[in-house]
A and B are shown apart, each in its own frame.
Chain A
Amino acid sequence: MQPTRTRAIEKIKAMKAVKGTRRPRRRRRGRWLSRLLSLHGLLGYIFLYLPIVILVVFSFNASRHAVAWRGFTLDWYAALFTNKQVGAALVNSLIVAATSTAVSTILGTMVALGMERYEFPGKLPFDALLYLPIVIPDIAMAVMLLLFFVLSRMGLGLMTIVISHIAFNISFVAVVVRARLAFFDVSLEEAAQDLYADEWQTLRRVTLPLIMPGVLAGGLLAFTLSIDDFVITFFTAGPGSTTLPLRIYGMVKLGVTPEINALSSMMLLASMVLVLLSLVLRKGGGEGIELA
């Protein structure tokens, strides 16, 4: 039998205990290393972004030949807006992007909710499969989809492009929404159910409003991916379903003109706006949930 240990004894021991703290040692070396790393980083950025800057600059070049600067002009942008083929391709791209984004956002969100909230047999393999479209090369996915459409005797056209884009976008939406759900406090859903909301009302009034920034971010990402996809679209497109990237490719075959530079610049701008918006949505509105 041990002698009774009382709280008083513990209290005394705690008072007697000496606290040992150590100061972190300051680093003197590494200043040069850090400068070298900064330079390295800078070079990396130049390598990545210089071609883009050149592309944008030359889209304002008054010369037909893309190599020498002959003064500022907006002519190429004007030509772009009157080009019927480019207009038709833009419409196709928007149809494909809008439809595939809408469908994949809904399906992707449902997948994310299902994976995050429920346990079911075969969840792990399903989880792995879900990430597959993100990691496998576009070209493999393109060939696979083309084979699928040929075997199932579907005529290639806008429809097959839309289906293909949904196929890869679901994964991206699901990943983004799941990241949001990981921070979601389940007791909020329990609180809703405790306050007489059934499963559907809980989803509509509590879960969806709180994960909405994630859903929107996923949707925007899907839209961006869809509108500038080339490889998969190239394989699954049919006559009359030329999208903007396919049109640009067709134009480049006849030589790189400032018109293409202008078109690419505009796509670049649109993509950047969408990605930025998606980032803002993903970051914003999160404080409330983490607090709760």
Chain B
Amino acid sequence: MTPRQNAVQLSQVSKRFGRVTAVDDVSLTIEDGEFFSLLGPSGCGKTTTLRLIAGFELPDRGDVFIGGKRQGETPPYQRPVNTVFQNYALFPHMNIAENVAFGLIMRKVPKQDILRRVSAALEMVRLPGMEHRRPDQLSGGQQQRVALARALVNEPQVLLLDEPLGALDMKLRKAMQLELKSLQERVGITFVYVTHDQEEALTMSDRIAVMSRGRVLQVDPPHEVYERPLNRFVADFIGETNFLVGVVKAAGRGKATVAVDGQLPLEVPAERLPGTGEEVTIAIRPEKISLHAEPPDQRAVAGTVDEVVYFGTNTCYLVALTDQTTVTVRCQNQQVGQHVSFPQGARVYLHWQQESVRLLRE
């Protein structure tokens, strides 16, 4: 098997705007045919990273490679990438066919090929027969598909998408997520997808790069990012997480024993062993915790139910430990009539599998 070629590679790239460092020493390798997401809160540098790949911004330091070729100061119109813009950026003075054909016309593709490829592209995004409409006659979702067709018709090596679903309503967004994913699998083009929506990144991506303050904190497949966050920011940004502060009592053989809330010490798996006496944070997802009226074993942590919130598919319990730390627990409502198992004020025991807990160091 031949090794997979890198579609995009960023090597120690930095970009400053005045005094703000938008992208800070970022190195990334995006493989060919991958659905790669840049995920982070607004202002984390994800859009700037995308613009550095597209060529709208040039790095102050470092190099951008596309298909193994160093880009240097190559202008956007000479890069083998196409972009789907956040606001779609359809040309308002052209009809849909002219919009989609724009890239092909610029590259002087023969006219018959243009007509064929434009209608094929519109077919692909399920907008056939829209050729003569104007952009402002289409709905947001339709404009979004035109923007997609306009980029994909050029068969780029890499498709860059800057929060393309941000302007759509919830239901349409969900539908488009699945559609985008299946489209990407069909055309086999590398997608670099910028989003601040962690759920979107989790459902669509092959790999996710979590960014904060211009830096890449973790690059991993969705389940790894979710189940094994490398640090507190990632654990907090992606999904819900309970953070419990504890003191290391002992460490060894890939495990650390941590005392939380003055209760019995817990054993936590640790890749890098902390020192004894060190203060550490352990992270646990709300759905990984189960509630019990009686302690099922020695490792259970005691608490009191503070609030109960019913969410339909699950019920959320806020459990106060003795040191006033609140732990969120989500219980699936598998059976009718069991949506509240523990009333407010009830004494409960929290229990989880040892492997569900992550040890984080600040």
CB-CB nearest in chain A for B308: A8
Contact call A194/B77, Cβ cutoff below 8 A: yes
Residues of B within 8 A of A198 (CB): 75, 77
Chain A residues in the interface with B (C-beta under 8 A): 1, 3-9, 11-12, 185, 187-188, 190-198, 201, 205-206, 209-210, 287-289, 291-292
Known pairs A187-B87, A197-B102, A210-B92. 13 more at Cβ < 8 A? A4-B242, A4-B325, A8-B316, A187-B86, A190-B54, A191-B91, A195-B102, A196-B103, A196-B106, A197-B106, A209-B93, A288-B92, A292-B91
Rounded to whole Å, the gap between the CB of B281 and the closest CB of chain A is 9
The answer for the CA separation of A5 and B320 in the assembled complex, in Å, is 12
B294 adjacent to chain A (CB < 8 Å): no
Contact call B89/A9, Cβ cutoff below 8 A: no
Given A194-B77, A288-B92, A288-B93, answer yes or no on A201-B328 (Cβ-Cβ < 8 Å): no
Rounded to whole Å, the gap between the CB of A204 and the closest CB of chain B is 11
Residues of B within 8 A of A201 (CB): 106
B90 adjacent to chain A (CB < 8 Å): yes
Given A9-B326, A201-B106, answer yes or no on A194-B242 (Cβ-Cβ < 8 Å): no
Given A197-B102, A292-B88, answer yes or no on A8-B245 (Cβ-Cβ < 8 Å): no
CB-CB nearest in chain A for B54: A194
The answer for the CA separation of A117 and B76 in the assembled complex, in Å, is 17
Contact call B136/A291, Cβ cutoff below 8 A: yes
Rounded to whole Å, the gap between the CB of B192 and the closest CB of chain A is 13
Rounded to whole Å, the gap between the CB of B155 and the closest CB of chain A is 12
Rounded to whole Å, the gap between the CB of B33 and the closest CB of chain A is 21
Residues of B within 8 A of A188 (CB): 89, 91-92
Contact call B327/A195, Cβ cutoff below 8 A: no
B269 adjacent to chain A (CB < 8 Å): no
Rounded to whole Å, the gap between the CB of B311 and the closest CB of chain A is 9
Contact call B326/A191, Cβ cutoff below 8 A: no
- Summed over the interface, the residue pairs from A and B with CB atoms below 8 Å come to a total of 107
Chain B residues in the interface with A (C-beta under 8 A): 54, 56, 75-78, 81-83, 85-93, 102-103, 106-107, 134-136, 150-151, 154, 240, 242-243, 245, 286, 307, 309, 316, 318, 324-328
Rounded to whole Å, the gap between the CB of A263 and the closest CB of chain B is 41
Given A4-B242, A192-B102, A195-B150, answer yes or no on A288-B135 (Cβ-Cβ < 8 Å): yes
Partner of A194, one of B82, B316, B327: B82
Which of A5, A195, A291, A292 neighbours the largest number of chain B CB atoms within 10 Å of its CB? A195
CB-CB nearest in chain B for A187: B89
Contact call A190/B136, Cβ cutoff below 8 A: no
Contact call B89/A185, Cβ cutoff below 8 A: yes
CB-CB nearest in chain A for B85: A187
Given A210-B93, A288-B135, A292-B92, answer yes or no on A4-B87 (Cβ-Cβ < 8 Å): no
Contact call B83/A4, Cβ cutoff below 8 A: no
Rounded to whole Å, the gap between the CB of A10 and the closest CB of chain B is 11
Rounded to whole Å, the gap between the CB of B286 and the closest CB of chain A is 8
Given A6-B328, A288-B136, answer yes or no on A193-B243 (Cβ-Cβ < 8 Å): no
Contact call B85/A8, Cβ cutoff below 8 A: no
The answer for the CA separation of A201 and B243 in the assembled complex, in Å, is 55
The answer for the CA separation of A209 and B326 in the assembled complex, in Å, is 60
The answer for the CA separation of A61 and B318 in the assembled complex, in Å, is 93
CB-CB nearest in chain B for A193: B76
The answer for the CA separation of A292 and B135 in the assembled complex, in Å, is 8
Residues of B within 8 A of A9 (CB): 307, 318, 326
Residues of B within 8 A of A210 (CB): 92-93
Contact call B85/A190, Cβ cutoff below 8 A: yes
Given A1-B245, A4-B328, answer yes or no on A190-B89 (Cβ-Cβ < 8 Å): yes
Contact call A191/B325, Cβ cutoff below 8 A: no
Residues of A within 8 A of B325 (CB): 1, 3-4
Contact call A3/B324, Cβ cutoff below 8 A: yes
Contact call A292/B107, Cβ cutoff below 8 A: no
Rounded to whole Å, the gap between the CB of B37 and the closest CB of chain A is 20
Rounded to whole Å, the gap between the CB of B98 and the closest CB of chain A is 10
The answer for the CA separation of A191 and B78 in the assembled complex, in Å, is 13
The answer for the CA separation of A110 and B333 in the assembled complex, in Å, is 66
The answer for the CA separation of A205 and B102 in the assembled complex, in Å, is 10
The answer for the CA separation of A206 and B103 in the assembled complex, in Å, is 13
Contact call A8/B318, Cβ cutoff below 8 A: yes
Rounded to whole Å, the gap between the CB of B274 and the closest CB of chain A is 17
Contact call B328/A8, Cβ cutoff below 8 A: yes
Rounded to whole Å, the gap between the CB of B198 and the closest CB of chain A is 12
Residues of A within 8 A of B78 (CB): 196
Residues of A within 8 A of B103 (CB): 195-196
Residues of A within 8 A of B91 (CB): 188, 191-192, 206, 292
Residues of A within 8 A of B86 (CB): 187
Rounded to whole Å, the gap between the CB of A213 and the closest CB of chain B is 11
Rounded to whole Å, the gap between the CB of B305 and the closest CB of chain A is 12
